Amino acid sequence: MVSSSVKDVAALARVSIGTVSNVLNRPEIVSPETVERVTLAMEKLSYVRNEAARQLRVGHSHALGLITLSGGNPFFTEVTTAAEDEAATVGYSVIAGNSDEKKDRESGYLTLFEELRVRGILISPVGNVIPRLRRMRDRGIPAVLVDRMSKDMSFSSVSVDDVAGGSLAVSHLIESGRRRIAFVGGPSEIRQVSDRLLGARQAAAAHPGVTLEVITLAALTVQEGKRAGEALVERPADARPDAIFAANDLLAIGLLQALYMQGRIAIPDEIALVGYDDILFASASVVPLTSVRQPSRLIGETAVQILLEEADDPTLEPRQILYQPELVVRASSS
């Protein structure tokens, strides 16, 4: 057996296919009795609308594309869930992909979304995708940057002030008496990383006598954090920093595993540690983690709202929404 189409429904309900389409899309203009009859026929045949055909006709789909930096990061999971919920309230679905911070994966998803003619794209970029997004916008697919601002403000964005966040974290470490601070971060092409580092630098520069060492890793994962921690354990004790600001909580948890659990380095006594994102597991880690919290759900919801507005009216000016982060102090730094 194969799927039934409007034609089958029309035949069974003894109406034209145009009427079937109308009860699907504008039931208010068709008489209640007819609606009833058609609906019944649909149920009898378990008719399911063919979205591809609808989309081919109207030109775009009822889906939004979302590309996050990492599937394993609960922060992005929360953003995604919030976006899905918000989109669902207006009948849209979200197709989520994650780039794992890799440019070719990012590019692959953009192509997929383009082939799918999604209504719009939400993205935390890795590579320089702005030119491509611009082309896509010219062809009717708008985009909103998530968790990162566009430098030239040519796209709307919903983000959190990462410079302020970095500054918040490092200021806190300095205030609690730390002087030899290390920033452990990922690839600097990732704006979130470079901004958090910038904020850290500003805070350090404001306090004479404070040094900031920068440790750059390949990715923002627990594994990489662990690797970095193992390298630190290898150092002679007096060559180690007395505080670490990790670019995200995954990294911080990896550091915790290597420094505290394997290396038996006292946290925070020997080394204080601050993470970023305040994921669900930060408060329950070996040493509860001080972290910079971002309003993840709010980011996802706002981004969807702006995107759908721009999809409806492409002439809208790009908007930059910037939320402020918040420091949550726990045992790892006090």
Partner DNA sequence: GTGAAAGCGCTAACAA
Partner DNA sequence: TTGTTAGCGCTTTCAC
Query: Which of 243, 244, 250 minimizes the C-alpha distance to 222?
Result: 250
**What count of other Cβ atoms lies within 10 Å of the Cβ of residue 37?**
18
Q: Does 19 bind DNA (CB under 7 A)?
A: yes
Query: Which of 249, 301, 318 minimizes the C-alpha distance to 66?
Result: 301
d(CA 117, CA 20): 25
d(CA 147, CA 129): 15
Q: Does 283 bind its own copies (CB under 8 A)?
A: yes
d(CA 97, CA 106): 8
Query: Which of 189, 192, 253, 240 minimizes the C-alpha distance to 213?
Result: 240
Of the residues 18, 27, 140, 314, which one makes contact with its own copies according to CB under 8 A: 140
Residue 114 touches which member of its own copies, DNA, none, C-beta under 5-8 Å by kind: its own copies
* DSSP for residue 332: G
Rounded least distance, CB 31 to DNA, Å:
4
Residue 7 touches which member of DNA, its own copies, none, C-beta under 5-8 Å by kind: DNA
Q: Does 6 bind DNA (CB under 7 A)?
A: yes
Tokens standing for 218? 């390949």
d(CA 320, CA 146): 10
d(CA 236, CA 170): 24
Residues 145-204 that bind its own copies (CB under 8 A): none
Distances (CA, A) of 255 to 15, 188, 197: 68, 19, 18
**What count of other Cβ atoms lies within 10 Å of the Cβ of residue 169?**
29
Q: Does 205 bind DNA (CB under 7 A)?
A: no
Residues 113-132 that bind its own copies (CB under 8 A): 114-117
Q: Does 30 bind DNA (CB under 7 A)?
A: yes
| 222: enclosing H helix or E strand | helix 222-234
Tokens standing for 167? 């500054």
Q: What residues does 98 pair with on adjacent strands?
A: 68
Site string for its own copies, 216-255 (x = CB under 8 A): ------x------------------------------xx-
Select 16 or 324, whichever has its Cβ closest to DNA: 16
Q: Does 135 bind its own copies (CB under 8 A)?
A: yes
Of the residues 1, 29, 237, 239, which one makes contact with its own copies according to CB under 8 A: 1
Q: Does 65 bind its own copies (CB under 8 A)?
A: no
Region binding DNA by CB under 7 A among candidate stretches 54-62, 214-222, 263-271, 321-329: 54-62
* Length of the chain in terms of residues written: 334
Region binding its own copies by CB under 8 A among candidate stretches 105-113, 142-150, 196-204, 227-235: 105-113
Rounded least distance, CB 205 to its own copies, Å:
33
Tokens standing for 24? 């699907």
Q: Does 21 bind DNA (CB under 7 A)?
A: yes
Residues binding its own copies (CB under 8 A) = 1-3, 46, 48-53, 55-56, 61, 71-72, 74, 77-78, 80-81, 84, 88, 93, 95-98, 108, 111-112, 114-117, 135, 138-140, 222, 253-254, 256-257, 261, 280-281, 283-286, 288
Would you tell me which residues interact with DNA (CB under 7 A)? 2-3, 5-7, 14-22, 24-25, 29-31, 33-34, 47, 49-50, 53-54, 56-59
